[in-house]
Amino acid sequence: MCQRILGVVNVQPLNKAIKFVPAFGLHRTPFSGRRLLPALIGKAMEPVIQEEPTGCGIAASAALAGVSYAEAKQKANALGIYAADTALWSETEHVRALLREFGISASSEETPFKSWESLPDKALMAIKWRIERGKPFWHWVVFTREYGEAKVLDSKKALKSNTRRDFGRIKPKWYIEVSN
């Protein structure tokens, strides 16, 4: 049974093996037998794999917009944004422009990373940050906290799983808060 209270869906599952914990959403009990699909409440954000070696900004934008890499690339190219452009690797304005085109609001500032717990529920993050020939470079990923579960959506094609929870191995430099 679901009821909307002040814009928030209050979910009370029919299956007694599943309990609703307000802070975390639906959780299985030891007797539920299987994991709940986020589709019961809504669609969870999915990783988008970059189709070009330097397309992580386009792929991260696609994941936030819920579209394919091809759709995001087409929109980016129409804006004059190309994965091969080295400015895309070391500036934030290109990705911000693409997010705006999708109707997604992003903070105007980069916030230094402090801890995973202090991150907003949705953020575009710079990892693998480094200086090459006097210029900063990084890899774009998406952090999301949905249904009480935190994860990083990493577009790198070579990864075994593009949904990452190995937070100790990921070294963010800063993030951009994303809303809607």
List of domains in the chain:
2-40 (no CATH), 56-179 (3.90.70)
SS3 helix, strand, coil % of the chain, rounded to 5?
20, 30, 50
Largest CA distance in the chain: 60
Structure tokens at 40: 């019961």
The answer to whether the beta carbons of residues 138 and 128 sit under 8 Å apart is yes
149-153 vs 18-21, strand pairing mode: unpaired
Per-residue pLDDT of the chain (180 residues; tens, 9 = 90+): 444 333 444 444 444 444 444 444 444 444 333 344 333 345 789 999 999 988 999 999 999 999 999 999 999 999 999 998 877 778 999 999 999 999 999 999 999 999 999 999 999 999 999 998 899 999 999 999 998 899 999 999 999 999 999 999 999 999 999 997
Q: What is the pLDDT of residues 8-29, one digit of tens each?
A: 444 444 444 444 444 444 444 4
pTM of the model: 0.76
Distance CA(83)–CA(26), nearest Å, equals 39
Q: Report phi then psi at 100, rounded to 5.
A: -60, -40
Return the H-helix or E-strand segment holding 149: strand 149-153
